[in-house]
Amino acid sequence: MKHTIKLFENSPAGVAFISLDGKFKEVNTALCRMLNYTKAELLQLSVNDITHPEDVGRELELMKELTPQSAFQYITEKRYLKKDGSLLPVQLHASIVMDAELHESFILGVITDLTHHKTIEERYHLLIRQLEDNNRDLVVQEEELRATNEELTANQEDLLETNARLEKTSSELSERNFELDQFVYKVSHDLRSPLVTILGLVNLAKLEEDLPIIKNYIDLIENRVSKLDAFLKSMLNYLKINRSEISFEKINFEEIIQEVLTDLEFMTDFKRIKKQWVLHGECDFYSDPLRIRVIFQNIISNAIKYQNLYEPSSYLYIIIRLDEKQAQITFTDNGIGMSKEHLKNIFQIFYRASSKSDGSGLGMYIVKQAVEKLKGTISIESPSNKGMSTKVVLPNLTPQAR
């Protein structure tokens, strides 16, 4: 075996002969240099002694396959521990060899230092992150262009021209932002559809002389305009959530709930639902009032909109628990609920659980965006498809916590 070892002594790669029980029998100078051990020190150790603990189990499984009767060999990446305890990433090529003089089998291990390779990998990942940053800059530029289209008019020709500009911009970024393409398409459809209906109703009303029928047309037009207005509000909330900077202010939950309920009091069946809330904890809570208000407005409006009219009465309970670290806010109602199939998609942009839903499909998507901007979490349950329980956890962004 000693004659064989000499052939590898000058190898630039680390070379070791290892007994089948994992003990080092012979090592070359390159391996000693890699690990900062002397040859005498390494020969007192086993493979497991210099292997990172997390890699030992996998190594043992592979070594079991190395037998004199098998032609099995393997190549793997692993981590060795140098004498000073620092990590050395390596590639190991292991195979069985027979020492003709000793009539004994050994494992031949050829070890290559991957430190330079890992450095190149890190540079590659850094380059990828830089490319991602550049992509985000392009998205910001597109959003700034979108912000120039703030004024939407009832004139169909102007709307189509605006959509053409949006579609042109989106096509340039389509390979980098698929969700943005979906957004533009959906906005175009949901804005144009009520406008076309309104134009059709106006033309019908012009041909009608019966005042009750004309009034019915006007009611229908008002209904479509209200839906269009609701959609535009959803879009504005979406833009505010994604574009505005986070503002750190002391939050008055009682005041926010009252303001939201005042805004929603003209919704159908608003008075039918019993609304109660309770606040536990007296510590000061800091966050972004705009995003907090958007969260409450969307969740409360859903509870009002999706009441179960077959129930004798409807309710919405809001429980807020405050402490120095966070606010836990739970919204519970006894509305129509939602199946698990639809519940898993509720935070997707433009998702509607059924054809009966006349919302924009932006509400819960906007809520999720707002919660994530505040570094919080949100979860929704609908036990037995009856009622909804929404839990929002938000960190207390006190001056000390920022």
Domain with CATH 3.30.565.10 in the chain: 249-395
Give the tens place of pLDDT for each residue, 40-79.
Answer: 999 999 888 998 898 888 877 777 777 766 667 888 888 9
CATH 3.30.450.20 fits 2-113, yes or no: yes
Mean pLDDT of the chain: 78
The pLDDT score that the predictor gives to residue 77 is 87
Give the tens place of pLDDT for each residue, 143-183.
Answer: 777 776 566 445 566 666 766 777 776 665 554 455 444 45
Domain with CATH 3.30.450.20 in the chain: 2-113
Give the tens place of pLDDT for each residue, 331-350.
Answer: 999 998 888 887 787 777 76
Question: How does residue 189 score in pLDDT terms, banded at 50, 70 and 90?
Answer: very low
Give the tens place of pLDDT for each residue, 249-293.
Answer: 899 999 999 998 998 888 889 999 999 999 999 889 999 888 898
User: Which pTM does this prediction carry?
Assistant: 0.46
The pLDDT score that the predictor gives to residue 166 is 73
Within 13 Å and on the Cβ side, how many CA atoms surround 10? 1
CATH superfamily name and code, 249-395: Histidine kinase-like ATPase, C-terminal domain (3.30.565.10)
Give the tens place of pLDDT for each residue, 365-401.
Answer: 888 988 998 999 999 998 766 889 999 999 998 876 6
The pLDDT score that the predictor gives to residue 1 is 46
